[in-house]
Structure 1
Amino acid sequence: MTHGCLKCLKYTMCVANFLCFMCGVAVLGFGVFMMVNFKVTHSLTPTLANLNLANMLLISGIIISCVSFLGFLGALKENRCLLMTFFLMLFFLLVVELTAACLLLLYEHDIADWVESDLNKGLKEAKGNHTDVFRSEWDLVQKTFDCCGVHNASDWGDNVPVSCCLNDCTGSQIPKYRSTGCLDKMRSWFEENFLNTGISIIVLCIIEVLGMCFAMTLFCHISRSGLGYKL
């Protein structure tokens, strides 16, 4: 009976980690696709210039693929070394996620002030460059969040982009701009999705804890039975 349960646990780990590995490869591939096909400027947040969506997808895909591959191979081959490495990597990721969540809660106001300062810096750089390519990120954000500038349209001065317009800015009519700044819109969006984000983090932590429990259970069984590779 016990042997059957452990065999079921082994193949459950194999299937779960294989699915996670495929998801990681898909995320990695999508990140490469975005990096190759979309030219990204960094005028929105200059300080976080290298943390664009494509790079974040690449990093996430690599981490998911490597960790899940270790879990899959360790369970399939009943390799104690790989199972322990899988357990330690999950534990490290769990600690990093919980630490980041705590820091975000503790320094919420400082982070908000820093984001505002960085957005102002990015908008200042965008104002000094009149090419559409350089403003692509601001145009995307302003159209997506139905906003204009950091606080309002006056942030752009006399060079308000078309993405701020509510009517035809190129015609003879007096242009009407979006009244709400992107900082307030983004803050409202994060507040509205705070619960969903929290639930996602909790679910991710539960999955990681289950993976750690499964790996340690299989590791202990292999140690007691004398099977698998030694550490």
Structure 2
Amino acid sequence: MAQGCLKCLKYTMCFANLLIFICGVAVLGFGVYMMVNFKLAALTPTLASFNFANMLLVCGIVITCVSFLGFLGALKENRCLLLTFFLLLFILMLVELTVACLLLMYEGEIGRLVKEDLTKGLEKARGSNSTSEWDLVQETLDCCGVENVTDWLPNIPRSCYTSGWGSSKPEYRKQGCLLMLKNLFEENFLTTGISVIVLCIIEVLGMCFAMTLFCHISRSGLGYKL
């Protein structure tokens, strides 16, 4: 009975890690696509290394590597790989909780930094007459400039207009992109929090499965020795 449960645990862990590995490859591919097609560094030049595409790329690499370790460790009943998988999950969970706490504690400071960087990005785009990245954001979020349309004066890009482009009475998008980004974050705050909690639960389950399998292998003398 115990052997049957442990075999079930082993193959469940293999199947779960395989699914997570496939998801990690998808995230990695989407991150590469975003990096190639959307040069978001023009929006936030100072925070360019922390843009959405780079974060997807890093997350994809981490997910694929960790899930591959878990899959291979369970399949081969390798104690070294299982222990490494356990430690990596534990470190990832600590990092996620630390980042979540820092975002809550320094929300105002982060908002100020984002505003300053968006302003620098807008000034750079205005000086180079290349606003394609800003056009994408302004049309997607229905916003204009950092605070409002006056940030673009005297050369207002077409993406700021709602109607009347080229006429004497044009109409512009009323909200600034900073406010729209803040609203977007607040609207998805609960979803993000629930996602972090679910992710931590999955990581705790993964650690429990890995340690249970590790202890069984140690008691039975199977698998590779450390």
TM-score (norm 1): 0.93
Alignment map for 1:15-164 (pairs within 5 Å): 15-36=15-36, 38=37, 40-131=39-130, 135-164=131-160
The one-letter amino acid paired with 1:229 is Y
CA distance in 2, matches of 1:26, 1:79: 27
CA distance in 2, matches of 1:176, 1:185: 18
- Quote the offset at 1:173 in angstroms: 4.0
Runs of at least 5 residues in structure 1 that lack an aligned partner in the other structure:
none
- Quote the offset at 1:40 in angstroms: 1.4
TM-score (norm 2): 0.95
CA distance in 2, matches of 1:113, 1:30: 29
CA distance in 2, matches of 1:175, 1:72: 59
- Quote the offset at 1:41 in angstroms: 5.0
Alpha-carbon contact 2:10-2:213 (below 8 Å) kept: yes
The one-letter amino acid paired with 1:137 is E
Structure 1 SS opposite 2:224: coil
CA distance in 2, matches of 1:108, 1:51: 16
Whichever structure has more helix as a proportion of its residues is 2
The one-letter amino acid paired with 1:71 is G
- Quote the offset at 1:58 in angstroms: 2.1
Alpha-carbon contact 2:77-2:224 (below 8 Å) kept: yes
Give 4+ residue runs of structure 1 displaced > 6 Å after superposition.
none
- Quote the offset at 1:165 in angstroms: 0.3
**For residues 139-197 of structure 1, what are the alpha-carbon distances to aligned partners after superposition, in whole Å with 9 as ceiling and x for unaligned?**
11111111111111011111111111010313x34111111111111111111110001
Change (3 A) 1:122 1:195: same
CA distance in 2, matches of 1:230, 1:66: 22
Runs of at least 5 residues in structure 2 that lack an aligned partner in the other structure:
none
**For residues 84-138 of structure 1, what are the alpha-carbon distances to aligned partners after superposition, in whole Å with 9 as ceiling and x for unaligned?**
000011111101100000000111111111111111111111111113xxx1221
Structure 2 SS opposite 1:150: coil
Percent of residue pairs bearing the same amino acid type: 69
Instruction: Report the equivalent of 1:180.
Output: 175
